[in-house]
Chains A and B, each alone.
Chain A
Amino acid sequence: MVGRRKPIHWIAIGAIVALTAVAFGSWQTHERRLIARAGIPPVPDLSRWPAGFAREVQRASEAVLSEPDSIEPLARLAAVYHANVYNAEAAQALDALHRLEPKNPRWVYLLADLRLRAGESDAATQALRETLELDPGNLPAWFRLARELATRGEIDAARACYARAVEAAPQDVLAAYFQIAFEAAHGDRSEARHRLTELVQANPGFPQLHASLAELHFQSGDLEHAGQERLLAATTDRELKQPDPWVDELAGLSYDIHRLSVLADEAIRARRLGVAEKLLTRAILIAPFEASLWGQLESVHRRAGRPEHALRWSEVAVALIPDDPGLHAEQSALLCELGRPQEAIERAQSALQRWPENAGLHEVLGVALGITGQPEAAAAALREAIRLDPTRVDALFNLGISLHELGQHEAARAAAQQALSIRPDYLDALALLASLALKSADSAAAESAVIRILTLSPRADARGLVATLAPYLRFEPENADAYLLLGEVLRDAGRLAEARAIFQQGLLMSRQNGRADQAARFRQALERSRDTNRNLSGSR
């Protein structure tokens, strides 16, 4: 009988322990659900938002209640609020997520983002530090912490952050660049210049890096290398990515079309055209009748070298928003780009029936007419555009081209000069002015324009100059005099290398054209430029 009592007791004890464990587990689950529920903020008045946003918030809030054991609904709710700048609501949800998953750096990092937005520097710094304790390899967190500390004047601490970022990702170009840029601003500039030179040599083709190096060279008085780096900055296009994935993905949940548009603009400037396309597509889905978004999307496709895609989108836009003259003008411009100027003319003329006072339509009509070899009609259309809107500097330039083709060189010069009075660094207008001056043997005007082109043009050498002038000054036998003059202008301005390059090209072309007389003149000019060089060398 004693033996029979023992097992019963132990079974009872075991059952009780099991029940205790179950009770404890239930209690924990219950606590977690309480935390999750506490993370649901009261839904604010969303009556002014697109209906989709209100539905999204409602759905996410209900999902937290109906799926109490899953973290995803609360994460979604936090993201939706965060993306649409409901910072307090987002913070409430993120607080709960952080309590539920204290080891997940994402939640505390997003909280840091909110604190930074609110200007709560201490709280933001604390949150960033906590993120980095959980995730020491988080580069965006290191960068943001460093920037915040630098803003607060804590330079040594900021420096340490950049060092840790480089340590965490020694191959990361951005980390290295940020560290060097920081040192250039707060430390040893010559050392920064040296390190940046090495970085650029190891990683060429990033415009940002070349531009920064150009600036450092310039500040140290090394103008030659500064010029070289500026040229590279203008002629390279590798993207220096600055990913911040947890924040970047919020854009896809934004219902603020203006914000989406601005983010798209930033992405376009950073040459992240895929990102820009996604943002704009989302914005258009939210606000399909906002013409400016369609224009932006077309611009993305044009920059991506897909004008035919741009045209397709343009056709959709015009069908959806037929009353926006700007969309019609853009469509005509695209047709010109695609080599369909006759269609461009028809579209522009049709739109002008409705909007006869629209300067943009007149301008694109003028451009299209010019392409189809109708300079007189082109000039008339462009004059009308300028009459309606005198600030249309491109119309002024194109008018100059048409007048040049009509042989009205004085008027062409006046149009180019008017364009330059509005935009003094308008390279094409300068080139037109230079070619007109060269053709009319006006060496003073030619020198002024040519030197300005060389100063402004990223390809600041003879080849670049010729490339810039080529559309207006094709090397043909009848332009030989102009080319000779160009070379002489450069020689007199002390640009001997460029001058010789022009003369050599002239000599080559003359021989190819069988023009011995012109070849002789270029040969003589070459000799004179060599003599000039010898004289200058002798006088030093």
Chain B
Amino acid sequence: MENRNTDPVRNARASRPARLTVAALLTVTAFGILLCVSLWKTPPPPVLSEERVPSAPTLSYRPEAIGLAPAGRPIVTHVAIGDLDQDGLLDVLVTDAATNRVGWIRQFPRGVFTEFTIGDPVRAPAHVSLADVDQDGRMDVLVASMGVLDPNNDRIGQVVALENLGNDRFRNRILLENTARVTDVRGVDLNADGRTDLAVGQFGYSEGEIRWLEGLGEWKFRDHLLLERSGTIMTPVADYDRDGKPDIAALVSQEWEEVHLFRNLGGGEFRDSVLWKSDNEAWNSSGIDSCDVNGDTMPDLIYSNGDGFETGFAGPAPWHGLQWLENLGAGRFRYHRIGDMPGCYSPTCADLDGDGDVDIVTVSAFNQVNDASSVWMTAWLNDGRQNFSEVPLAHEPTRLISVAAGDLDGNGVPVLVTGGLHATPPYILMSRVTLWRRQ
């Protein structure tokens, strides 16, 4: 009899199943190890509730509500800083479209702010500025009236002056009416005849205009049309070409999304040019102002895009934000994008950090109201070479549409003032006029 243990064929037959068994066992073991590894690498159960903590700003401001308490939802369209009563203390002016009134938040004594309603009602006031229109030594108040804030092509706009009669009394004078909705008016002597003229921007809706009103004295004006185009938001005046004559810049939105410059040629003549234009018809231009960003004595333009009035703000448009147009002289400007900010509005220059260069502050009128991390006011700090760092300043209140900066405290530190426009829901964390002091 063969030894079962030494017969190679039999041994081979006996060992094949064994080898298969071993192989299968090894396979199972391998999978088992893999499974254990997978189980081991299982992440902890997801946290179903976690607070997103916004990053701490390097600048911080303390808010203080000033002015009248709102009766309902605040609809402030513009705030400006100026010394209306020329007592050496800066005041705040506010256009309130909820009440159709212009408010003068008078500072007196220093640090005490009291609001007075001045003049008669003005329909949907959109912008306010100071100028001595009748040259009587008293500052008058120029008001741009849209007629209604909602989209409307009717000719319901007005240019209104609140004539300063002295003793805190003001009288409404309608300088232009039955015209496309007016969004900006500035008083300045454009034709060097010693009388105050007016630069006027008119949004309208599907039709609008830019014009200047030549002051003839005695509150009379001659009308000069500069451009027929819808969508003008603002018309900041400065001597952009440094020829001693004030020029008019204009931000034109709607489907145009352009920045115009009307260079003053003298004798009442202006030459129009387009400084910059976006290809994006939904660029949502929202605000423009002039200041010398780079300290070369030539006025530059700071320019925001963030309008959401008609879009319902489906979400942060990725192109909302801030840019500046560097004045290169001779009517030439160079575009620089500064940063992104949803619903960006009201670019304003000020040296916020006291380092001697020009910073910029903006607010947001359209953002995710329900999202606690949304930023509603941002500082753009200049490093002196026009590189800007974004610093969130406020996560509330919501829906800020205007910001102004001025040395209200008289200590060289800019104070900020914001206005809130709460025309669309949700109505939470609302404000009317807020003063912000640096901490």
Chain A residues within 8 Å of B, Cβ to Cβ: 2, 5-6, 9-10, 12-13, 16-17, 19-20, 23-24, 26-27, 30-31, 34, 37-38, 40, 42-49, 53, 58, 61-62, 65, 84-87, 117-120, 255-259, 261-263, 265, 287, 290, 389-391, 393, 421-424
Question: Are B48 and A423 closer than 8 Å at their CB atoms?
Answer: no
Chain A residues near B371: list those with CB within 8 A.
44-45, 48, 86
Chain A residues near B32: list those with CB within 8 A.
23
Question: Are A258 and B370 closer than 8 Å at their CB atoms?
Answer: no
Question: Are B426 and A27 closer than 8 Å at their CB atoms?
Answer: no
Question: Are A42 and B154 closer than 8 Å at their CB atoms?
Answer: no
Chain A residues near B178: list those with CB within 8 A.
421-422
Question: Are B155 and A118 closer than 8 Å at their CB atoms?
Answer: no
Question: Are A391 and B45 closer than 8 Å at their CB atoms?
Answer: no
CB A280 to nearest CB in B, in angstroms, measures: 13
Contact with A along B284-324 (1 / 0, CB 8 A): 00000000000000000000000000111111111100000
Answer whether residue B389 sits at the interface, using C-beta atoms and an 8 A cutoff: no
Question: Are A262 and B368 closer than 8 Å at their CB atoms?
Answer: no
Question: Are B155 and A262 closer than 8 Å at their CB atoms?
Answer: no
Chain A residues near B425: list those with CB within 8 A.
257-258, 287, 290
Question: Are A9 and B155 closer than 8 Å at their CB atoms?
Answer: no
| 15 CB-based A-B contacts, threshold 8 Å | A2-B13, A9-B21, A13-B21, A16-B28, A17-B24, A20-B28, A37-B46, A48-B429, A84-B370, A85-B316, A86-B371, A259-B312, A391-B123, A391-B148, A421-B178
With A10-B17, A87-B315, A118-B318 already in contact, the answer to whether A23 and B156 are too (CB < 8 A) is no
Additional pairs, 14, CB under 8 Å, beyond known A2-B13, A37-B45, A258-B425: A9-B21, A13-B17, A16-B21, A23-B35, A42-B48, A45-B372, A48-B426, A85-B315, A119-B319, A258-B313, A258-B424, A258-B426, A262-B314, A422-B155
Chain B residues near A31: list those with CB within 8 A.
38
CB A70 to nearest CB in B, in angstroms, measures: 17
Contact with A along B17-56 (1 / 0, CB 8 A): 1101100110110011011001100110111111110000
Closest residue of chain B to A116 (Cβ to Cβ) is: B318
Question: Are B35 and A26 closer than 8 Å at their CB atoms?
Answer: yes
CB B346 to nearest CB in A, in angstroms, measures: 21
Question: Are B370 and A48 closer than 8 Å at their CB atoms?
Answer: yes
Question: Are A48 and B46 closer than 8 Å at their CB atoms?
Answer: no
Chain B residues within 8 Å of A, Cβ to Cβ: 10, 13-14, 17-18, 20-21, 24-25, 27-28, 31-32, 34-35, 38-39, 42-43, 45-52, 123, 147-148, 153-156, 178, 310-319, 368-373, 424-426, 428-429
Question: Are A19 and B28 closer than 8 Å at their CB atoms?
Answer: yes
Chain A residues near B28: list those with CB within 8 A.
16, 19-20, 23
Closest residue of chain A to B20 (Cβ to Cβ) is: A13
5 closest A-B pairs by beta carbon, nearest first, are A262-B312, A119-B318, A9-B17, A16-B24, A42-B50
Question: Are B154 and A43 closer than 8 Å at their CB atoms?
Answer: no
Measured CA separation A257–B424 after assembly (Å) = 9
> For chain B, what secondary structure do more than half of its interface residues adopt (helix, strand, loop), or is it mixed?
loop
Closest residue of chain B to A258 (Cβ to Cβ) is: B424
Measured CA separation A116–B123 after assembly (Å) = 39
Measured CA separation A44–B54 after assembly (Å) = 12
Measured CA separation A331–B287 after assembly (Å) = 39
Chain B residues near A30: list those with CB within 8 A.
35, 38-39
CB B214 to nearest CB in A, in angstroms, measures: 23
Question: Are B314 and A85 closer than 8 Å at their CB atoms?
Answer: yes
Closest residue of chain A to B27 (Cβ to Cβ) is: A20
The A-B contact count (CB < 8 A) is 147
Chain A residues near B318: list those with CB within 8 A.
117-120
Chain A residues near B153: list those with CB within 8 A.
423
> For chain A, what secondary structure do more than half of its interface residues adopt (helix, strand, loop), or is it mixed?
helix
Measured CA separation A65–B46 after assembly (Å) = 9
Measured CA separation A421–B123 after assembly (Å) = 17
CB A13 to nearest CB in B, in angstroms, measures: 5
Question: Are A46 and B370 closer than 8 Å at their CB atoms?
Answer: yes
Measured CA separation A403–B24 after assembly (Å) = 102
- B155: which of A37, A85, A423 is its contact (CB, 8 Å)? A423
Measured CA separation A291–B272 after assembly (Å) = 45
Measured CA separation A259–B48 after assembly (Å) = 27
Question: Are B314 and A44 closer than 8 Å at their CB atoms?
Answer: no
Chain B residues near A424: list those with CB within 8 A.
155
Chain B residues near A24: list those with CB within 8 A.
31
CB A404 to nearest CB in B, in angstroms, measures: 22
CB B318 to nearest CB in A, in angstroms, measures: 3
Question: Are A48 and B372 closer than 8 Å at their CB atoms?
Answer: yes
Chain B residues near A26: list those with CB within 8 A.
35
Measured CA separation A38–B27 after assembly (Å) = 29
Question: Are A48 and B428 closer than 8 Å at their CB atoms?
Answer: yes
- A13: which of B24, B31, B313 is its contact (CB, 8 Å)? B24
Question: Are B43 and A9 closer than 8 Å at their CB atoms?
Answer: no
Chain A residues near B42: list those with CB within 8 A.
34
Question: Are A40 and B51 closer than 8 Å at their CB atoms?
Answer: no
Chain A residues near B48: list those with CB within 8 A.
40, 42-43, 58, 61-62
Chain A residues near B21: list those with CB within 8 A.
9, 12-13, 16
Measured CA separation A117–B311 after assembly (Å) = 13
Chain A residues near B47: list those with CB within 8 A.
42-43
Closest residue of chain B to A62 (Cβ to Cβ) is: B48
Question: Are A261 and B52 closer than 8 Å at their CB atoms?
Answer: no
Measured CA separation A20–B23 after assembly (Å) = 11
Measured CA separation A389–B49 after assembly (Å) = 51
CB A20 to nearest CB in B, in angstroms, measures: 5
With A46-B370, A48-B426, A48-B428 already in contact, the answer to whether A20 and B312 are too (CB < 8 A) is no
Chain A residues near B369: list those with CB within 8 A.
48
Question: Are B46 and A61 closer than 8 Å at their CB atoms?
Answer: yes
Question: Are B311 and A20 closer than 8 Å at their CB atoms?
Answer: no
Measured CA separation A117–B387 after assembly (Å) = 27
Question: Are B24 and A421 closer than 8 Å at their CB atoms?
Answer: no
Question: Are A261 and B31 closer than 8 Å at their CB atoms?
Answer: no
Question: Are B43 and A37 closer than 8 Å at their CB atoms?
Answer: yes
Closest residue of chain B to A27 (Cβ to Cβ) is: B35
Measured CA separation A44–B47 after assembly (Å) = 10
CB A515 to nearest CB in B, in angstroms, measures: 43
Chain B residues near A34: list those with CB within 8 A.
38, 42-43
Chain A residues near B426: list those with CB within 8 A.
48, 256-258, 287
Chain A residues near B319: list those with CB within 8 A.
119
CB A1 to nearest CB in B, in angstroms, measures: 10
CB B97 to nearest CB in A, in angstroms, measures: 13
Question: Are A9 and B156 closer than 8 Å at their CB atoms?
Answer: no
